[in-house]
Amino acid sequence: MSGFARVAWQVMRKDMTVEVRSLEIVSTTLFFAVTVVLMFSFGLVVDGRPADNVAPAILWVAIAFSGTLALGRTFERERQNDTLRALMLAPADRPALYVGKLAGILLLLGLVEIILVPLVGLLFNAPVFAQALPLALLLGAGTIGFCAVGTLFAAMLVRARSRDVLLPIMLYPMTVPVMIAGVRGTAALFQTTPDPAVAQFWLSLLVAFDVVFVVLALWTFEPVMTD
Amino acid sequence: MTRSMTVMMGLAAGMFAVAPFMIDAAPYEATMGLVYKIYFFHMPSAWMFLTAAVTAGVASFRLLFLKRPRADHWVIAAAELAVLFGAFTLVTGPLWARKAWGVWWVWDARLTSSLMLFLIFVAYSLLRKYGGPGSDKLGAGLALFGMANVPFIYVSVNYWRTFHPPTSVVPTLPVEMGIPLWFCVVAFTLLFVILLRLRARLEHQRERLEALYLAEDDI
C-alpha cells in the first residue's frame, strides 16, 4: 500500500475504533434521522395516507440533517482533546488525512442510510427496493458529494467560534446541486413507472459534482489547515 | 484618498444624477410598457453582482495558494459588494417578474443560481463577523467553493425549464434603449470600483492600525 492510502486508512481506522468503542455518533445520528422522518410523517400523512411524491425530499433532507450532525460531532471530538493538532503535526500528507476523515464519515452515514431508506419506504409508501441498484448509486454519489464539501468545511471550522451554526449555513447553499439532483433522481425512480434515463442524468451530474469537489477539497485542504 | 478616486466619485455621482432622465427618455417596450425600465438598473447590478463574485474568487485564490495576506482585504470588499449588488438584483428582478410573468418568483436556472450565490456570500459575511480568528482562510475556501458551485446549480436547475430572457437580447436592442443601458452599465461599474477600493482601503488601514497598536504594546 502506498503512503497516501496507508495514512488515509489509518485515520479512518482510528475513527472507526473510537466509534466502535463508544457508538456515540452512529447511535445519536441514527436516532436523530429517525426522529426527523417521524416529524415529517406527522406533518405529511393525512387521513392515514402520505402526501404524494414527498418521499424523495424527506429522504434527502433527513440525510442532509443527520450528515451535518455527524460531521459536527466527528470534528468536535477531535477538538476536545486537541487531537486535530496532533493529526496535523503527523508527518503525513494533509490530503491523506482529509481522505481518511471523509471515508470515516461516509461509512457512518452509509450505516445510517441502510436504516433510513427502508423507514422512509415504510412510512411513505415508496418503492425503495424496486430499483435498488440505481437508488444505491444515487445515494452513494449524493452522500459523497455532500460529505466531500462537509468534511472540508467542518475541518476548517474546528477553530472557529460559533462553528455549530456556521456549518449548516455554509454547507447547505453549497450542496444545493446535490439536493436537487438527489431528490429529482430519486423521484424518477419512485414514480409508478420508473424513468431510469432521468435518474441516470442526475446520477451523472452527481458524479461530476463529486469529482470536481473532491479534487477541489484535496487541493484546498492543505492551505486552509495551515496556520 | 487619491486624486483618481475623487474624479471617479464625481463622475459616478454625475452619471447617477443623469441616468433617470435618460431612462425616462427611452421608448416604451411594445408588450411590457413602463415596467421594462427596471431593466436599466437590474441588468447592470446583476453584472456587478457577478463581477464582485468573480473578484472575491480570484482574491481568495491569491490568498490561499499564492499566500498573499493582503488579498484578504479584497475578498472582504468584494464579498460585501456581492451581497449589496446581489440584494439589488434580487429585489429589482421580482418587481419586474410580477408584471411580466404574473408571479414574483420562478425556480428558473438564473434566478436560482443568483439566489444561491447570494446566500453563499451572505454566509461568508456571517462567517467573517462571527467566525473569530482564522476565518479569513475559511472564508476564502468558501468563496472558492462558491465559484465552482455556480455551473452545477445552473445545469441542475436548467434541466427543469428556463423563463429568464437570455443575455443575447442585449446586442439586438434598438439604439434608443441601448444607449441608456450602456450608460447605466458604466455608472454601475464606476460605483463598483469606487466601493471596492474604498472598502479594501478601510481594511488595509485597519490592519495598519492594529499593527501600530501591537507595536505600542511591545515598547
pLDDT tens profile A168-221: 988 998 888 899 889 989 998 888 888 888 888 889 989 998 998 899 899 888
- Look up residue B33 and give its DSSP letter: B
pLDDT band at residue A129 under the 50/70/90 scheme: confident
Would you put residue B2 in left (φ > 0), alpha (ψ -120 to 50) or beta?
beta
Of residues A144 and B160, more confidently modeled: A144
Residue A68: closest CA among A123, A114, A37, A29: A29
In whole numbers, what is the pLDDT of chain A averaged over residues?
Answer: 88
pLDDT value of position B21? 81
**Cβ-count burial B77-114 (b if 16+ within 10 Å, e if not):** bbbbbbbbbbebbbebbeebbeebeeeeebebbbbbbb
Task: Tell me the per-residue pLDDT of B4-29, one tens digit each, with 9 for 90 and over.
Answer: 888 888 888 888 888 888 777 777 76
Facing A160 at nearest CB: one of B65, B112, B132: B132
Predicted confidence band at B171 (pLDDT cuts at 50, 70, 90)?
A: low
The structural domains of chain A, with segments of one domain joined by +, span 3-225
pLDDT-derived band at A51 (thresholds 50, 70, 90) equals confident
Distance CA A128, CA B12 (A): 60
Strand residue runs (E) in chain A = 45-46, 49-50
Q: Tell me whether 0.85 is exceeded by the ipTM.
A: no
Of all residues in chain A, what percent carry a pLDDT higher than 70? 99
Q: Which residue of chain A has the CA closest to B65?
A: A223
Which of A76, A57, A53 lies closest to A65 in space, CA to CA? A57
Residue given cell 469537489 in the structure block: A213
HSE, side-chain direction, 13 A CA sphere, residue A110: 12
Q: Which residues of A touch B (CB under 8 A)?
A: 149, 152-153, 156-157, 159-162, 166, 169-170, 173-174, 176-177, 180-181, 184, 201, 205, 208-209, 212-213, 216, 220, 223-224, 227
pLDDT band at A35 (very low <50, low <70, confident <90, very high): very high
Alpha carbons B136 and A227: distance in angstroms, whole number = 11
